[in-house]
Amino acid sequence: MIAIEPPLALLAELTHRCPLRCPYCSNPLELAGASLELDTAAWKRVFSEAAGLGVLQVHFSGGEPLVRRDLVELVRHATEVGLYGNLITSGIRLDADRLRALVEAGLEHVQLSLQDSEVTSGDRIAGLAGAQETKRRVAGLVREAGLPLTVNAVVHRQNLERLDEIIELAVTLGADRLEVAHVQYYGWALPNRDALLSSRDQLETATAAIEAARARLAGVMTIDYVLPDYHAHRPKACMGGWGRRFINVTPAGKALPCHAAETLPEIHFPSVTEASLSEIWYRSPAFQRFRGTAWMPEPCRSCDRREIDWGGCRCQAFALTGDSGRTDPVCALSPDHDLLAAAARDAEAASADFVYRQHSTTSRGLRELVSASDPVR
Amino acid sequence: MTEMGDAGRMGQVTLAGDAVLRFAPHVRFRFDEVRQAWVVLAPERLLLPDEQAVEILQLVDGNRDVDNVVKELAGRYDAPREVIAGDVVAMLKDLVDKKVLRR
């Protein structure tokens, strides 16, 4: 039995509301409306409990965290309890006054998303006219505020050909770090896989471009590169292993070992409104479910990499095979590995049309029903 | 030093003996009461320095240059400076490349 270490980081998904509609959003297909979100007091309690549990960094995420009117208050509280705060944002709605307030509240770092280097394509992928121009403005504000800036560019078949331009734009924006991440196929990306999945040729060109840029930009901008699972032979150590390093809290308060874990149907994830983070981390069946190596099937169980990749990603195993307890099909030793090549072949023949992230029509219909029956309105 | 998350990589920045290093803005080197261990918190990075690395980082104060960090440690361990220098410079240079430390 491996001793359970305290978590290192908390991903705080403050809201699912977002002005952008990126078709690879990692949020679940069933988005939580504003009325379901944890309130200010509940989030503050979560941050206090996280710090007490040993969490060191908090990532304020969403959706778009700036949509929360209490964001400055939440950042201040997280700072007061000793957490290192990172804002993961699209930049939309960020102005100089709000940023100044966030810095004064103790925010340490901003990660700004970038959909493309090219304006028309950037706005199209974001699903919002003017989104691309906002990135330039916001990057400037972050630099003026003296905060470190990371640009996060999600790459896929529809923007990979401009990777060099994306890298140059990140330099122009004054980024200290650029994260180039190939789409991971969970959440909204999975139904859009055929429109987004890159080919092996595109991947090899991109990887070479990254290596060249790293050499060229050493000391100017560091580049982190997240490889695409679908062209890999060994799985990633997803979240550093289930329940080993990360804890994720959804807008409605569910505690998850990773942001996609709610896609796994047979697990009951506890809510922070019902139990403390410490109880959830150390004792909940959900966090024990795939922790360590005892749950593993072959070929993982006897593999000498079982404590390197921890069996890969449970959500990917479920998404591709329907069984969350199987070896991640990304592993070349998995009996399901050929599913990835089949997906890549399907995507090559597919069109570039994708479905934007959106709140489901059912919940929209319900909201309309409620407002229509409200006599005040 | 254990780095959680991102993979390190080779940089091209050189590090002279008279370079005076300090922690970059918004990098926090602090003691964590829960783990009873020192940690380095930085944008998108989390470093868990071992005992040796902690000793080196505690000497990074914005006043001492790299030569003086080496001299101090060589004195503490009664070891030849060139032996200490190799490890110390390699670690500091790596942290400059990662923008955890700066001149």
In tens digits, chain B (103 residues) has pLDDT values of: 655 544 333 444 578 889 999 999 999 999 999 999 999 999 989 999 999 999 999 999 999 999 999 999 999 988 888 888 988 999 999 898 888 999 8
Q: In sequence order, what are the beta bridge partners of B39?
A: B30
With 90 as the cut, is the pLDDT of residue A276 above it?
A: yes
pLDDT tens per residue across span A320-330? 999 999 999 99
Chain B, 60 to 79: residues with Cβ < 8 Å from chain A are none
| Mutation choice for B interface testing from A89, A108, A113, A221 by most B CBs within 10 A | A108
* CB-based contact A343:A193 (threshold 8 Å): yes
| pLDDT exceeds 80 at position A366 | no
Neighbours of A85 (CB within 10 A): 25
End-to-end CA distance of chain B: 21
Of the candidates B50, B56, B25, the one whose C-alpha atom is nearest the C-alpha of residue B35 is: B50
**Using one digit for the tens of pLDDT, what is the confidence trace for A308-357?**
999 999 999 999 999 999 999 999 999 999 999 898 888 888 888 888 98
The whole-angstrom distance between A54's CA and the closest CA on chain B is: 5
Buried residues in A216-240 as b, exposed as e (16+ CB within 10 A):
ebbeebbbbbbebbbbbeebbbbbb
The pTM score is 0.90
Contact (CB<8Å) A215/B44 = no
B14–chain A Cβ distance below 8 A for any pair = no
Q: Provide, as residue numbers in chain B, all residues whose Cβ is less than 8 Å from the Cβ of A84.
A: 28, 41
3-state secondary structure of A256: strand
B97 and A222 in contact by Cβ < 8 A? Answer: yes
| Banded pLDDT at A231 (limits 50, 70, 90) | confident
Nearest to B103 by CA among B70, B55, B74, B63: B63
Residues A148, B13: C-beta atoms closer than 8 Å:
no
Closest CA to B25 of A336, A147, A13: A147
The confidence score (pLDDT) of residue B3 equals 57
The answer to whether A187 and A176 are in contact (CB under 8 A) is no
| A contacts of B39 (beta carbons < 8 Å) | 56
What is the ipTM for the molecules in this complex? 0.85
CB contact under 8 A, B41 and A56: yes
User: What region does A174 belong to: left with phi over 0, alpha with psi -120 to 50, or beta?
Assistant: left
A1 HSE (CA, 13 A, CB side): 3
> Can you spell out the DSSP letters for A172-198?
HTT-SEEEEEEPPSSGGGTTTHHHHPP
Predicted pLDDT at A370: 28
Give per-residue pLDDT as tens, A141-152. 999 999 999 999
